[in-house]
Structure 1
Amino acid sequence: MAFQNETLKKQYWRDNLRIIGWLLAVWAFVSFGCGIIFAEALNAIHIGGYPLGFWFAQQGSILTFVVLIFVYAKLMDRLDRKYGVQETEDAK
């Protein structure tokens, strides 16, 4: 990855950190918010016989994290294309 000027490099990393920040915020909300803080309210709803708060604490945060990995990869592909630093087919 080679940037032609320092300004583009800083913009790229600022956009990258913004993406990471938003995705971490989503994961924190699901992990701590739904699994701990709002667990009692969510326990009124059941999925497969288990309270929703319990489900988020045990499975939901893990599944959310896996989905966020794919979302991050897609967003980074888009960001790389925007700044012209995408991987080429012959580089793989």
Structure 2
Amino acid sequence: MKNNDKDKAQRYWKENLTYLTILLGVWFMASYGAGILFAEPLNAIRLGGFKLGFWFAHQGSIYVFVLLIFVYIRLMNKLDKKYGYDE
């Protein structure tokens, strides 16, 4: 492997890890933050008849996770094209 290819692969992996860190941080805040840490203040708001903190703890974090999967797919497709790893 050439030195240039190795540098390109390292930049690609670093950018991938940045995306993962940000997206997992968002998921953490949606699941643990909204469902546990901030549940009491969020319970003052109702969503579909349920308290918002309760909703995030049981369903909201799952919806956020599925949405983040699609965001990750889109980001990785762009990243693959940027570094020439697309098919």
Q: Give 5+ residue unaligned stretches, structure 2.
A: none
Q: 1:19 maps to what in 2?
A: 19
- Partner amino acid, structure 2, of 1:11: R
Q: Match for residue 84 of structure 2? A: 84
- Distance in 2 of aligned mates of 1:76 and 1:19: 9
Q: Which has the higher helix share?
A: 2
How far is the alpha carbon of 1:38 from its aligned partner?
A: 0.2
Q: Distance in 1 between matches of 2:8 and 2:47?
A: 47
* Offset at residue 61 of structure 1 (A): 0.3
**TM-score normalized with structure 1 length:** 0.89
Q: Percent identity?
A: 55
TM-score by length of 2: 0.94
- Residue aligning to 2:28: 28
Please tell me whether residue 44 in structure 1 is matched to residue 44 in structure 2: yes
Structure 1 stretches of at least 4 aligned residues deviating more than 6 Å after TM superposition: none
Paired residue type of 2:86: Q
The structural deviation recorded for 1:48 is 1.0
- Any unmatched runs of 5+ in structure 1? 88-92
What's the Cα RMSD here? 0.8
